[in-house]
Amino acid sequence: MTTQISQWGNSLGVRLPKTLGEYLGLKKGTEVEIYEKNGAIIIKKSKKYTLEKLLNMSKDSHEEVETGNTEGKEEW
């Protein structure tokens, strides 16, 4: 796939084909990280989570762990 760099105001921009955006789950307003690595431009979705999303991810993610008998003055 080949495209051209465009001028957008004082910035440069690249347009992504609709099919690629749909395939990657990108839409208007999706936050992305842009950086250079070994001469390549890397664009990837940001991994910013809301508190609600983090709490939903952690539900039932761990099983109960047996730690043995109590010792000392532990209270359960």
Are 43 and 35 in contact by the 8 Å Cβ rule? The answer is: no
- Per-residue confidence (pLDDT) for residue 11, from 0 to 100: 96
Helix (H) or strand (E) holding 19: helix 18-24
Domains parsed from the chain with CATH numbers? 18-58 (2.10.260)
What residues in the chain have per-residue pLDDT under 50?
none
Residue 62: what pLDDT?
67
Q: What is the pLDDT at residue 50?
A: 78
pLDDT at 19: 92
